[in-house]
Amino acid sequence: MRMSLLDAFADLTDPRQPDLVEHRLLDIVGITLCAIFAGADTWVDVAAFGRAKQDWLQTWLALPHGIPSHDTFGRVFARLNPQELAHSFARWVEALVEALQARLPVPAPADLRVRAIDGKQSRCSHDRLHDQPALHVVSVWASETRLILANQAVDTKSNEITAIPLLLRQLDVTGCLVTIDAMGCQRAIAQQIIDQGADYVLALKENQETLYQEVRECFAEQRQDDHVQATGDVQVGKDHGRRERRTATVITDGPTLAWLQARHHWPGLQAVGRIEAERRFPDGTIESETRYYLLSVPLTAAACNHAVRLHWGIENQAHWILDMAFGDDASRIRVGHGAENVALLRRLALNVIRQDHSKQGGVKARRLQAGWDTAYLLHLFSLVANSTD
């Protein structure tokens, strides 16, 4: 399967009146995506990029009336159907994943293929004048390819609990380990994960008050009773000058789990986990935190520790970079569907830049290089246009 950019976005419905159209929709999308690769963060930036690179753009785009104005870019993306754009994104990512998996080594049976689900808010996209809250997008992160696989905007009158099932239905998660924070720790979501052929590690907090307290009691009993079946693991690391010690314990004891199931009837529950994290900072400050998890598979404590670390990849390697390198949190694009559509293109660009190994430096530095060097921009764009070659 060869999935070029124009193929991926060819099915988009043009929201404009046909007799008033001067610029092709695919030209507008193509310019915008290239501009985002090259460091553009606003519609003024996108239009300026188009004018600066018009000669190059005309080698592969029609541009019958030149480069659109920044107002045209803004109006089109404000009206463009975000569900259609998300479908185009998913088609391209599916093709890219197929290509990457063909090149990746065959995973060992014990390897974890984590699908981390978490939400991110674009804080400056709110509009108080029109009572519009900030955009909140829930994404799925694949640990082995470091790709954002799919996205689902949270409805303005809802929360992540309603968005996660919609997101899961877009994906084939068979054989994967789905990790979600406490917001997604719901029976219906756990059941859906099981029904789709996956397993889960769900963070458990006080939002499930009775279950949370009883899981804590199970670990208190485990400390005092050597007959409770459990495994332990300790991982020590150092980063940014701080030292971290993570102690994981997983209870797989049959009677303990049977007691929990009799009280809570949690779908597929096979184990409960606890991770005690201690961070020591250079100034002598010590921070400690204890987190609890529900597991549908009896992982060892070491595997549970590893899975939780992989889950945080979506925060450290996706959400944080979207803010630092793409200015997602500071973006003031807010009219219509503009914020949601551009957020999706930023995620597509991040996926592409992460697959490029021809340049050194971080994502932001490579975006700058793409703006300065047309050859490098063409190289990045070829990763999109020929993702499965």
**Average pLDDT over the chain, rounded to an integer:** 90
Helix (H, G, I), strand (E, B) or coil at 178: strand
Hey, what's the torsion of the CAs at 168, 14, 52, 74, to 10 degrees? Answer: -80
At residue 388, the pLDDT reads: 43
- Say whether pLDDT at 103 is over 70: no
pLDDT of residue 347: 95
Q: Say if residues 231 and 303 touch (Cβ distance below 8 Å).
A: no
Q: What is the pLDDT of residues 329-344, one digit of tens each?
A: 999 999 999 999 999 9
User: Would you state the pLDDT for residue 111?
Assistant: 72
What's the pTM value of the predicted model, to 2 decimals?
Answer: 0.91
Among 13, 24, 23, 135, CA closest to 83: 13
Mean pLDDT, residues 233-262: 91
Distance between CA atoms of 240 and 230, rounded to whole angstroms? 33
CB 26 within 8 A of CB 9: yes
Distance CA 119, CA 135 (A): 10
Q: What pLDDT is attached to residue 1?
A: 28
At residue 227's C-alpha, the angle toward residues 261 and 215, to 5°, is 35
Report the alpha-carbon distance of residue 115 to residue 178 in Å, rounded: 5
Q: What is the pLDDT of residue 2?
A: 39
Segment 271-310, tens digit of pLDDT: 999 999 999 998 889 999 999 999 999 999 999 999 999 9
Helix axes 43-52, 25-37, angle to 10 degrees: 100
- Who contacts 133 (Cβ-Cβ below 8 Å, separation ≥6)? 126, 156
In the predicted structure, residue 21 carries a pLDDT above the cut 50: yes
Label residue 360 by pLDDT band (50, 70, 90): confident
Q: At 298, phi and psi to the nearest 5?
A: -75, 70
The 3-class secondary structure across 130-153, one letter per residue, is: CCECCEEEEEEEECCCCEEEEEEE
CA angle 143, 187, 162 (to 5 degrees): 70
Which one has a higher pLDDT value, 384 or 56?
56
